[in-house]
Structure 1
Amino acid sequence: MAAKDILGRAGEARAARHLEERGYTILDRNWRCTQGELDIVAIDHGVLAIVEVKTRRSEAYGHPFEAVDARKRRRLWGLAHAWLEAHPDLPRVRAVRLEAIGIVGDPESGALEHLKDLS
């Protein structure tokens, strides 16, 4: 596995722990379909949270949230709909929300930022 993939997986693991500590229930991690991949799918008080995780060693190439632009958000919405279609037995959710977690530095101890609503 490439170093960037190891960094990304470690960041996703920390992000999942961060969400669980805040009361989220993780439903899926690294869910894939023909359209792409969702990093984390979770429930937060009846809201389906689609969470994109970006981990960077530094901000030399920009802040992690810069990678979650309008094009990426449109793709995440499409993936959210595909995930819902693939999980018809999911209890009814009140809403769907896009979120992002950015980690800069060491994935275990670096700065973590959580944006709860990307719409």
Structure 2
Amino acid sequence: MRTLVRGGWVVGFAGRTHTLIPDGVVVYEDDRIAYVGRRFDERAEVEIDARGKLVCPGFIDTHVHSGHRASHRLITDTGRPDFFGQPFLDISVPREGRRVGGDPRYARPTDA
């Protein structure tokens, strides 16, 4: 069955870099992504209105630490496809100190 997701902010991948497609289209057939882009004129059995939504085909990870130091660029923006799908902080930030147990929302500076 062909499903068309239309009108959202689509995160796509163009060879070596990610791209944001406003008012984009994603088409999948059964469990396979068939098309990602700006326009799709063929028929689909199901159509989903994604206006105002972020659409990430293929489970593209949009997780980011916006407060992260500027010196640590996002791996996905540096042309290193070998890092795709890897945990960003495990690659870019050296491990120092020790882990503190418990919920980090309630940790005190003296716990470290």
Higher helix share: 1
User: What TM bracket, shorter-length normalisation?
Assistant: under 0.3
Which structure: larger Rg?
2
**Structure 2-normalised TM-score?**
0.24
- After TM superposition, the score normalised by the length of structure 1 is 0.23
